[in-house]
A and B are shown apart, each in its own frame.
Chain A
């Protein structure tokens, strides 16, 4: 077949697309660069941080890295899939509680009951739904699979009914609120507002021992790197391209013969699994899981970190989450009470002036070097414009 269009002006070799659309397939150089990036990250996390930071700061970093894992998931669901999920705390909490329940039971010993149940004194024996968590073979997979199952159930209902945008965000937030209310209401078996606290051991290791704390940190750092590798594969796969297409034109994808609901569902379930894993590792790192750590406010804070870092990039959510969590600690230490305002301000500034997050600064700078590439507008308004165009094809 011959080209029937007028010859396009002879542009030089097409440059690889930048930004949200990664070049495909990757050349050897980009693969090398990725390997170097991962090596650099691993060196930073495994060698530099433990050497430079005190035990106290390292434990804080472990906590931040757990938040970063949630952020990686939000980056997939929101940045790539367009699902603004304001309820990741639910999945974080499911993973956290599953792990904490197991550790509490392990602390109590065989046949024992967690301390708080004896304290409230209403229960003679362990509630039925606690029992499977005594086995690590149940509890450990459950930290990931339970959140994924809940996300699957919810997502199947919601995406097929084409709930999206603000409605989806509100729904997911309501879920976080409901989960907190449920946990507090069932104080006798969940620990109520206090949550599950005072966790002493982690599979036979004493968590008070700094050496073991360090081990927990290494597990967390390794898990984060593994999740990043998984995410990189996901966003560079055909599925990753399809997910961006669903984000930018759900109706159009439907007319291409795909069911966007299942495409979104996969991203949502993966994000939930990551949040669950993060919650599970948060428990040995911090020694507590409670409703205050998984409710609406922490759920929103997860999202703020992602927005600040750059939701549609691989590293943006991680760096944003760690930076925001670190700034929170640093500023709260010096100026208690001001952090909440600063956090709000930061969020407003980023959303208004830098919708691509801090990562887009890097992309902008790089593009200026290259010169030839057009500067992409912040993609939030662009996506909104597209949504207006595609969602209701005018009659």
Chain B
């Protein structure tokens, strides 16, 4: 998608607080982003284009700058360069403003509000645009988008439970559900299946495919098996730079990727050993 069409579409879009179905898809465009901490450059000129509706996996060894890149996109750390989602420039805006542009993220560890119920968690996630007058009143019933999200993430039977009592996988799904009701059109997921069982991974993958119908998804993940099954495209980061990019097959066949992951180039067959150390 050219920048020109992205811009013209961006002007048309009106803020809409309900649901995302029927809304326009946007892509993510990262140009020459750099992040340094006290002289250490964690992200060193990364550029990548994630087309609308993609499920892009970001992989790379520890310290490659994956999470820092997501931090930069979401405004948690200062960065130079340019990050555009649709027509909007994200860099330089505060975290909550970026979020309101439709960018949602999860963290490596689940950060649901454990002292609140599943329903309350989702209701809060859905309410960033509520007026003070609405906030001052009680919630009556379940908002439509929250009910839909409860179904999507399979927690409808647990709406009244404290989020702290959920199993690990369910917390991650709740996180994703919170992004859905938050009206996020770009989902940035940091290791969503870490610590999950096989069944939970399958369910999470299916969930990603469902939500990517009308959203753009970027996943940081170490699990190679999960990546092979659900990635539509892959970007490999190494030492703060883009090392390789393409389909799963292309990336796996790239000798530079094999070298980074295994220390020496090997044939594609033995590179397929699953999770890296």
Q: Is chain B found bound to chain A in the same assembly?
A: yes
A interface residues (Cβ-Cβ under 8 A, vs B): 1-8, 10-11, 14-17, 19-21, 23-26, 233-234, 236-239, 241-242, 244-245, 248-249, 251-259, 374, 376, 379, 382, 386, 389-390, 393-395
Cβ of B107 < 8 Å from any Cβ of A?
A: yes
Task: Identify 7 residue pairs between A and B in the complex whose beta-carbon atoms are under 8 Å apart, listed by A's number.
Answer: A4-B152, A5-B170, A24-B117, A25-B141, A238-B124, A393-B71, A393-B107
A8, B113: Cβ atoms closer than 8 Å? no
Contact among B115, B152, B161, B173 for A379, CB-based, below 8 A? B115
Please, which residues of chain B bring their CB within 8 A of the CB of A395? 42, 67-68, 71
Residue of chain B at shortest CB distance from A393: B107
- B124 contacts A241, CB within 8 Å? yes
CB-CB under 8 A from A24, the residues of chain B are 117, 119-120, 138-139
Give every chain A residue within 8 A of B170 (Cβ-Cβ). Answer: 5, 8
B134 interface residue, CB < 8 Å from A?
Answer: yes
Do A257 and B124 form a contact, CB below 8 Å, given A5-B153, A242-B135? Answer: no
Determine the distance from Cα of A24 to Cα of B94 in the docked complex, in whole angstroms: 32
The answer to whether A6 and B165 have CB atoms under 8 Å apart is no
List A contacts of B108 (CB < 8 A): 393-394
Contact residue among B104, B173, B199 (Cβ-Cβ distance under 8 Å from A255): B104
Kindly list chain A residues whose C-beta atoms are within 8 Å of the C-beta of B128: 256-258
Most chain A CB within 10 A, of B148, B156, B157, B182, is at: B157
Top 10 closest A-B pairs, CB basis?
A5-B154, A257-B128, A14-B160, A257-B99, A239-B135, A3-B154, A4-B206, A5-B203, A17-B117, A257-B100
A57 to chain B, nearest CB (A): 38
Q: Are A25 and B138 in contact (CB under 8 A)?
A: yes
- Knowing A252-B113, A255-B74, the reply to whether A245 touches B154 (Cβ < 8 A) is no
Inside 8 A of B74's CB, which chain A residues have their CB? 255
Cβ of A238 and Cβ of B123 under 8 Å apart? yes
Judged by a CB distance under 8 angstroms, whether B260 is at the interface is no
Closest to A6 in B: B199
Q: Are B159 and A256 in contact (CB under 8 A)?
A: no
The B76-120 residues at the A interface (CB cut-off 8 A) are 76, 94-96, 99-100, 104-105, 107-109, 111-117, 119-120
Task: Indicate whether B31 reaches chain A with its CB closer than 8 angstroms.
Answer: no
B219 is an interface residue with CB less than 8 A from chain A: no
With a cutoff of 8 Å between Cβ atoms, the chain A residues found around residue B130 in the complex are: 238
Q: Which residue of A lies closest to B42 (CB)?
A: A395
Distance of A26 Cα from B138 Cα, bound (Å): 9
Q: Which residues of A contact B182 (CB under 8 A)?
A: 256-257
CB of B151 within 8 A of chain A? yes
B178 sits at the interface (CB 8 A):
yes
Given contacts A14-B158, A256-B104, A256-B125, 7 further A-B contacts (CB under 8 A): A2-B151, A14-B161, A17-B117, A238-B137, A244-B116, A245-B120, A248-B116
Nearest CB in chain A: distance from B150 CB, A: 9
From B94, B114, B129, B190, residue with most partner A Cβ within 10 Å? B114
Give Cα distance in the complex from A15 to B160, angstroms.
6
User: Which residue, of A19, A254, A256, A389, has the highest number of chain B Cβ atoms within 10 A?
Assistant: A256
**Distance in Å from the Cβ of A10 to the closest Cβ of chain B?**
7
Give which listed residue, B99, B135, B148, B162, contacts A237 with CB less than 8 A: B135
Min distance, Cβ B145 to any Cβ of chain A, angstroms? 12
Interface string of B56-85 (1 = CB under 8 A from A): 000000000001100100101000000000
Q: Does B271 contact A (CB under 8 A)?
A: no
Cross-interface CB contact of A256 among B107, B119, B178, cutoff 8 Å = B178
Return chain B residues, CB-CB under 8 Å to A234. 136
Known contacts A1-B151, A5-B154: does B113 contact A245 (CB below 8 Å)? yes
Q: Does B243 contact A (CB under 8 A)?
A: no
Q: What are the residues of chain A within 8 A of B178 when measuring CB–CB?
A: 256
Question: Within the assembled complex, what's the spacing in Å between the Cα atoms of A10 and B113?
Answer: 24
Inter-subunit contact B113/A248 (CB<8 Å): yes
Q: Which residues from A are CB-within-8-Å of B155? A: 5, 8
Q: Which residues 197-231 of B sit at the A interface, judged by CB distance below 8 A? A: 199-200, 203, 206-207, 210
B residues near A16, Cβ cutoff 8 Å: 160
CA distance A245 to B122 in the complex (A): 11
Interface pair B109/A389, CB less than 8 Å apart: yes
In the assembly, what is the distance between CA of A179 and CA of B81, in Å? 47
Complex contact B160–A1 (CB within 8 A): no
Q: With the chains together, A26 CA to B134 CA distance in Å? A: 17
Across the interface, name the chain A residue whose C-beta is closest to B140.
Answer: A25
Measured between C-beta atoms, what is the minimum distance from A17 to chain B in Å? 4
B139–A4 touching, CB < 8 Å: no
Docked Cα-Cα span, A245 to B109, in Å, equals: 16
Complex formed: what's the CA distance from A197 to B170 in Å?
61
A3 neighbours in B (Cβ, 8 Å): 151-154, 156
CA–CA, A16 to B42, complex, Å? 46
A16→B162 CA distance, assembly (Å): 9
Question: Are A254 and B135 also in contact (CB < 8 A) when A19-B115, A21-B117, A393-B67 are?
Answer: no
Q: Given the complex, which residues of B lie within 8 Å of A25, measured CB to CB?
A: 138-141
Q: How far is the CA of A253 from the CA of B203 in the complex (A)?
A: 26
A30 to chain B, nearest CB (A): 12
CB distance A249 to B113 under 8 Å?
yes
CB distance from A248 to the nearest CB of B (A): 5
Bound-complex Cα distance A242 to B127 (A): 9
Chain B residue with the shortest CB-CB distance to A13: B160
Please indicate the chain A residues that have their CB under 8 angstroms from the CB of B152 in the complex.
1, 3-4
B154–A4 touching, CB < 8 Å:
yes
Rounded to whole angstroms, the CA-CA distance of A8 and B150 in the bound complex is: 13
**Is B207's CB under 8 angstroms from A5's CB?**
yes
Cα A16 to Cα B108 in complex, Å, equals 29
Most buried by B among A3, A239, A394: A3
CB neighbours (8 Å) of A244 from chain B are 113, 115-116
